[in-house]
Amino acid sequence: MTTGLQACPVSRNHHPNLWPPFTSITTTPALEQVVRGEGALLYRAEGPPLIDAISSWWVTLHGHANPVVAAAIAEQAATLEQVIFAEFTHPQAERLASRLAQRTGLDRVFFSDNGSTAVEVALKTAVQWWHNRGEPRQQLIAFDGAYHGDTFGAMAVGARSLFSEPFDPMLFPVRRVPWPQTHWNDQTVEASEQRALDDLALALQTPTAAVILEPLIQGAGGMRMVRPQFLQAVEQQVRRAGSLLIADEVLAGFGRCGRLLASQRAGIQPDLVALSKGLTAGFLPMGITMASEAIFQEFLGSDPTKTLWHGHSFTANPLGCAAANASLDLLEADPACHEQFEQRHQVRLERLADHPRVQRVRLCGTIAAFDLVTDGEQGYLNPAGKVLRGLVRDQGVLIRPLGDVVYLLPPLCISDDQLDQCYDALHSGLDALPGR
């Protein structure tokens, strides 16, 4: 039988046994081997070191191979590497939970494995909360352009996209509301916020289990930022409707936006918060879902159907918890480093903003972003970002634009010289960018 399919050659020199994520293998050159990391630098098997201007998928909060985090993990590995968390607890988990509760006002900490699972737990908790109260609600509201992870529940609340397409018919329905993204010198933001709030008010007329959002910045959806006052208005509406508010802070949390939680900077108090990425300083995969005491209370009682029957083999892994405590130690030892990072971007970004290939400039904490001026269509498949990525990489800087959206998301430890190199590389890359 013939299928009519041509064998598709795997691109040059890819490892025969690896299947990399988010990678169109045929059109992507072989992956380079990295042998060592230190601070903001990645050392490759061949060639000069690269400045990691994206914190390796937004995780390495304090830089590569940070000695404080590395030592904490090593010590924990030699003490207790893992224990079944349903029978036992351990000092690292208890310390971390107390510290996070104290810093956020959310009293309960549920551990899982990554950002997607932290979101799954938040969604399941919200839906079961209503179920446990005897007032089941199924509607979930999410925002246009959202990205919450790649597992089925997280995909369902995320925007439908190229990534989700094969699964779209299987994803549960979610009510969608516009996300009034803004940028420097945006004259229309108030009108677009009002439209979004009007839509949200309409959506909330249907009893709603929860509204989920990425506070201050939608990451994978294109580094799309909103103003704190919009999020405060959303919270007010959610409270009026008696619904729950979930903040997915997998990217935005843990100092990325200038405060421990982006919600704190935005001036909102969600019922559930999902954390990952910078939580363990990018050393180990771990997720946390924080919940208010009012959420937790509905899961108590002798009726077994009230229990949150959810868990993972590696729940509250002691190495992950040790890494997270060390990551928090580092944030607390030098708060100015994350609280004032935005100023370091600001001066450099102002200069870049004048470049003719740069538009819709935006900045939040450690994250600076803009859209490329191109002739192509806006979005993830716009090839201009890939071309820029190559040009910038030739200058020793690693970026990974999302289509035509370019961003810098460096580790906190990046030096001023290294940050200058990132901006210089962007400048010369933009000068050399074909088209226009």
**What residues line the site for ligand PMP (CB under 6 A)?**
114-116, 119, 147-149, 214, 219-220, 248, 250-251, 276
Rounded to the nearest whole angstrom, what is the least distance from the CB of residue 432 to ligand PMP in the complex?
29
Q: What single letter denotes the amino acid at residue 320?
A: G
Neighbouring residues of 234: CB distance < 8 A, sequence distance ≥ 6: 197, 200, 211, 213, 245, 268
Distance, CA of 281 to CA of 243 (rounded, Å): 33
Rounded to the nearest whole angstrom, what is the least distance from the CB of residue 351 to ligand PMP in the complex?
28
Neighbouring residues of 432: CB distance < 8 A, sequence distance ≥ 6: 391
Distance, CA of 100 to CA of 108 (rounded, Å): 9
Rounded to the nearest whole angstrom, what is the least distance from the CB of residue 106 to ligand PMP in the complex?
17
Rounded to the nearest whole angstrom, what is the least distance from the CB of residue 217 to ligand PMP in the complex?
9
Q: Are 312 and 287 in contact (CB under 8 A)?
A: no
Nearer CB in complex with ligand PMP: 119/384: 119
Q: What single letter denotes the amino acid at residue 184?
A: W
Rounded to the nearest whole angstrom, what is the least distance from the CB of residue 116 to ligand PMP in the complex?
3
Rounded to the nearest whole angstrom, what is the least distance from the CB of residue 409 to ligand PMP in the complex?
11
Inter-CA distances, 97 with 36, 113, 291, 322, 354, Å = 32, 16, 11, 12, 45
Nearer CB in complex with ligand PMP: 109/402: 402
Nearer CB in complex with ligand PMP: 220/225: 220
Q: Are 435 and 374 in contact (CB under 8 A)?
A: yes
Nearer CB in complex with ligand PMP: 222/429: 222
Neighbouring residues of 420: CB distance < 8 A, sequence distance ≥ 6: 348
Q: Are strands 41-44 and 34-38 parallel, antiparallel or unpaired?
A: antiparallel
Nearer CB in complex with ligand PMP: 43/57: 57
Nearer CB in complex with ligand PMP: 251/405: 251
Rounded to the nearest whole angstrom, what is the least distance from the CB of residue 252 to ligand PMP in the complex?
7
Rounded to the nearest whole angstrom, what is the least distance from the CB of residue 218 to ligand PMP in the complex?
7
Structure tokens at 172: 């549960």
Rounded to the nearest whole angstrom, what is the least distance from the CB of residue 57 to ligand PMP in the complex?
7
Rounded to the nearest whole angstrom, what is the least distance from the CB of residue 417 to ligand PMP in the complex?
29
Nearer CB in complex with ligand PMP: 219/278: 219
Give the residue closest to ligand PMP by C-beta. Answer: 115
Q: What's the farthest any 2 CA atoms get from each other in the chain?
A: 68
Nearer CB in complex with ligand PMP: 214/371: 214
Nearer CB in complex with ligand PMP: 176/348: 176
Nearer CB in complex with ligand PMP: 119/266: 119
Nearer CB in complex with ligand PMP: 116/325: 116
Rounded to the nearest whole angstrom, what is the least distance from the CB of residue 249 to ligand PMP in the complex?
7
